[in-house]
Structures are given as C-alpha cells and as structure tokens.
Structure 1
Amino acid sequence: MGVKRRRQVPARPEPGAELLTAAGLHLAVGGRELLSGVDLVVRAGEVLALLGPNGAGKSTLLSVLAGDVPPSSGTVLLGGRPLGDHRPAELALHRALLPQSAALSFPFPAGEVVRMGRAPWAGTAAEAEDDEAVAAALAATDSTAFVDRPFTALSGGERARVALARVLAQRTALLLLDEPTAALDLRHQELVLQVARDRARAGDAVVVVLHDLSLAAAYADRIVLLADGRTVADGPVAEVLDAPLLSRVYAHPVEVFPHPGTGTPLVVPAR
C-alpha cells in the first residue's frame, strides 16, 4: 500500500503582490449584461472596497472573482493561473468567500460551523492549527460566548459574526466579503472592518462589498466604484469619494466632509 502524500500549504504572498487580476469581465444572464468589461487587480496587504448602488454588480463581481460564477468572457487569474485551472479543494486554500446570507438548516453548534472553515486544510501540515484557528476566529468576531449554541437559534447579527468567523478560520490569503456589516450593530460593524484591516496589515488581501461609504472611507485602502455593471472609478479613497461623482452614480446629491479629527472623508446625503 502506497503512502498518502500530504498536500502542500500555499506560500504566503509577498507584500504588494498581485493575488488576483481580472480583465475584461463580461457576464450576461437572461439577455441582461450584469458585468460589462470590468478590470480589477487585488494586491496583498490591502483592503479593497467595492461600492455602488443596488444592482451595480458588486455581489455579481465578487461571485465571479471567487470562481463561483464563470464570466461570459474575460479572464480571472489567481496567483497568476486562470481561476478555472484550480480544483475546488485547491481554490479553498487560496480564497475564502463570505456570501450575503449564511443559510444553514441544521442546528450545528456555532463552534462547529466555524470549524467547517478548516475543512480545506485536512491532510496538510496546517491541520495542526485547527483548534487555534477556530478559537482565534471566534474571539476576533466576538462570538466565543455562543460557541455551543445552535446556529439556527442565533440572531441575524450573531449568525453573521459566526459566518465571518468561519471565513477567518479558513486562513486564506484572499478574503472576499459580501456585505459583512449588513446585519450588525454599530459596534460590530467597526469590529468587522477592523478585523479586515488587521488581516490586510498581516499581509492578506481583503475585498469587501459595502453600502456604508463612510465605513469604506475609514477602513479601505482603495475603492472600486461600480454602476450598471461597469467600473466608474478605481483609486484611493479620497479620489473616488468625490461628491459630484457620487451624486451622479447614486442619483442623489451627497456631500463629503473631512472628519474633524482624522481627515477621513464622511459621506452624507444632502437633505
């Protein structure tokens, strides 16, 4: 009987390395074009926020970048290789996806749900980190207190935090987060974005879909602004969060002010 070889653990990326690149992405569904020629680069060590109004294509783009939805045309490279060349098990070692909703019909304890994030590492040297990774992810999301409670018995905000903990426990170099703050109170919105900031500071790349423009301004390094499936702007926070541009994209007048303490842009609707 042969000896089963252990799978290799991916090397950590160099700071600033291009982890993922997308070029000319188009996606049409039912005759409607959801993405129209989107280009994107995601680098290690940054938080990249995807912004735009409802229907702009943010979640669709995230699904294409994750490899869950193939584009009609265009390319996505993960680590310099076409996304489609990665087997699902291999893909899970490189990127973790937090979808908008965390659907789970079985009453698994919250701690076991988080441990599911460690499944891709079974059979690798990193398997030895499972307990520590789960505990750290629960602590980072302020979820340790309900580790033994059924996931189905948690509130919407608690479920959202456990779902994020599962993604964090996966410990990939690329995190794709779809509206991770949507169900959360103010304190936990800040906590989640600080976790994203910390992961980027540690060398990972975080792509996050947000609706709160001021949260994006406070925590993102770069913003991609989408409208009607197209990239309207891609650049530093202060450059993209421009009042005339945002007013046009969101079809509502907005004002942008510098925070009196930090200078970070604050975006508010004009009333």
Structure 2
Amino acid sequence: MRLRRRQEIPERPPPGSELLAAEAVRLRLGGRELLAGATVRVAAGEVVALLGPNGAGKSTLLSVLAGDLAPDGGAVTLRGRPLASYGAAELARHRALLPQAAALSFPFTAEEVVRMGRAPWAGTAAAAEDGAVVDAAMAATEAAAFAGRPFTALSGGERARVALARVLAQRTPLLLLDEPTAALDLRHQELVLRIARERAAAGDGVVVVLHDLSLAAAHADRVVLLTGGATVADGPVAEVLRAPLLSEVYGHPVEVLAHPRTGVPLVLPER
C-alpha cells in the first residue's frame, strides 16, 4: 500500500490560467456595507492592481480574496474550487497575504519572521529548501543586512521589506499585497513592484493594492477600479486610467499624460 504524504505540494498553474475569481462579492460588517458587488479575476502570470479612493473596499476585498473574511454574497473561487472549501494549511500553500501592517509582540529577529513564511511547507519535500528560500527572499528585498536584528527594532520601511520577504518565502502561486509601498522610499517602492513583476513573469498571479496611480500604470498588467465597494472598471491600464473616470471616482479633477519616453500613463491632480 502506498503511503500518501501528509501534505501534498500543489502543482504550479499553467501560464494564463485563471487562479482566482471573485464575482459580485458583497459584505456587511458592523451594519455597514463594505463590499457591494466587487468583481475581480486573476490569471497566472499577471499583476492586477486594485485602485480606488479611501473607503472604496480595496483592503476588504483583498481580505475576502485571501479567505480571511467570508462574504455575505457572491462567489470566490481559487483554482476552480470554492475558496471556503480550503483548509487553513492548504490555503497557505496556494496564496500568501501581505497585510498593511505587521505587528509582533515578541522580539523575533528579521530572519525568524521571514522563516515563518515556510510554516505551510513543514512535512513536505519543499521543507528541504527552507534555508535557501529564506536567504533568497531576504536578498531580493534587501533585508539581509539586518537579518539578526529584532523585528521590533526595525524602521517602518525595514519592517515592510521583511514582511514582504516572508510572503516571498511562502512560495505560493498567488500573492496578495496590501499597500506594499506605503512605508517605502522611492528606491524601495520600485524594488517591491519590480519583484511583483518578476513573480508574474515566473508564472505567479499578483494582486496589489496601491494608492499611487502612476505606480500602478507603470507596473500592472491590468487595473480594477473600486468605489463604494463595487467594481466600476476592469481592464488594461490605458483603458481604465482615463481622466474623466478617475476625476469622478476620486472626486478631484485629474489629467492623464503619456510619459514622454515610455508612453506609460502619468496621473496628475489638477492644481
């Protein structure tokens, strides 16, 4: 009789295949409707940016996509299966979530925090790669220099890079990143989004919540625009980042210009 491994390693999805789909998702919390028909799809090999003003439902939708919040209506599927059918350990081998803030009450070192990303692979053949994967994740995020320092002693930007390294170390085919550039300087903003593009080029699906529309235009394959908890536009950057639509959604007039060298849209508020 063949013994089945305690935890199976999922196969990587083929390029272009649908990883995640959320259809007409609704959610009420504390008497407020936070999501009112949000829809998003993510394929292997693409970066999808979730955009919208404060309170649009971006972070809430990301929590629903991660399985941390159960919607009141609509449907969410991960690799063709209802998201709710995944157990916690199995789900952690399919998707990795970077929340807005990483809070730890114990003085773990930066390297120990990154190593936490390997927990879902305990008991699988992938566990043999733990050391190399952690080292690679810290090198990619330029966090190796403070690997031995307590996480609680790091600056906000350093913590953000360590938290991203933990997500990368999890080695899942789907990355969900909530405002990963918020605490970072210009150099490291570009580093984080370059990493997102590299993961997509390697076949992963990446969903990233951003406030900087020009950053989204430069790095995303597709953008999903939310307002009032609902999806109002979904498509290629040039189709969604249009001045009339953005001015209406954000409640402030903007102009959209083409970068003189790359042609990538630049979104500027009118002043």
Shorter-chain TM-score: what band? over 0.9
Other-structure match for 1:154? 154
Number of aligned pairs? 270
Q: What secondary structure, in the 3-state scheme, does the structure 2 residue paired with 1:192 have?
A: helix
Other-structure match for 1:233? 233
Q: What secondary structure, in the 3-state scheme, does the structure 2 residue paired with 1:11 have?
A: coil
1:270 aligns with 2:265: no
Alignment of 1:1-271 (within 5 A): 5-271=5-271
Q: What secondary structure, in the 3-state scheme, does the structure 1 residue paired with 2:238 have?
A: helix
Q: What secondary structure, in the 3-state scheme, does the structure 2 residue paired with 1:61 have?
A: helix
Post-superposition, which runs of at least 4 consecutive aligned residues in structure 1 deviate over 2 A? 2-6
The alpha-carbon deviation at position 61 of structure 1 amounts to 0.1
* RMSD (Å) for aligned C-alpha atoms: 1.1
Aligned-partner Cα distance in 1 for 2:265–2:108: 42
Aligned-partner Cα distance in 2 for 1:260–1:4: 58
Aligned-partner Cα distance in 1 for 2:32–2:238: 33
The alpha-carbon deviation at position 30 of structure 1 amounts to 2.1
Deviates more, 1:75-84 or 1:56-65: 75-84
Aligned-partner Cα distance in 2 for 1:230–1:5: 42
Q: What secondary structure, in the 3-state scheme, does the structure 2 residue paired with 1:189 have?
A: helix
Check conservation: 1:141, 1:192, Cα contact below 8 A: yes
The alpha-carbon deviation at position 260 of structure 1 amounts to 0.7
Percentage identity across paired residues of the two chains = 74
The alpha-carbon deviation at position 3 of structure 1 amounts to 6.8
Q: Write the deviation string for residues 64-113 of structure 1: whole angstroms up to 9, x where unpaired.
A: 00000000111111111111110000000000000000001111110010
Check conservation: 1:259, 1:266, Cα contact below 8 A: yes
Q: Write the deviation string for residues 151-207 of structure 1: whole angstroms up to 9, x where unpaired.
A: 000000000000000000000000000000000000000000000000000000000
Aligned-partner Cα distance in 1 for 2:146–2:8: 34
The alpha-carbon deviation at position 23 of structure 1 amounts to 1.3
Aligned-partner Cα distance in 2 for 1:60–1:5: 35
Structure 1: gaps of 5 or more residues: none
Aligned-partner Cα distance in 1 for 2:183–2:51: 17
Aligned-partner Cα distance in 2 for 1:5–1:214: 46
Q: What secondary structure, in the 3-state scheme, does the structure 2 residue paired with 1:266 have?
A: strand
Aligned-partner Cα distance in 2 for 1:82–1:145: 41
Q: What secondary structure, in the 3-state scheme, does the structure 1 residue paired with 2:36 have?
A: strand
Check conservation: 2:13, 2:173, Cα contact below 8 A: yes
The alpha-carbon deviation at position 5 of structure 1 amounts to 3.0
Check conservation: 2:39, 2:230, Cα contact below 8 A: no
Structure 2: gaps of 5 or more residues: none
Check conservation: 1:6, 1:125, Cα contact below 8 A: no
The alpha-carbon deviation at position 4 of structure 1 amounts to 7.6
TM-score by length of 2: 0.98
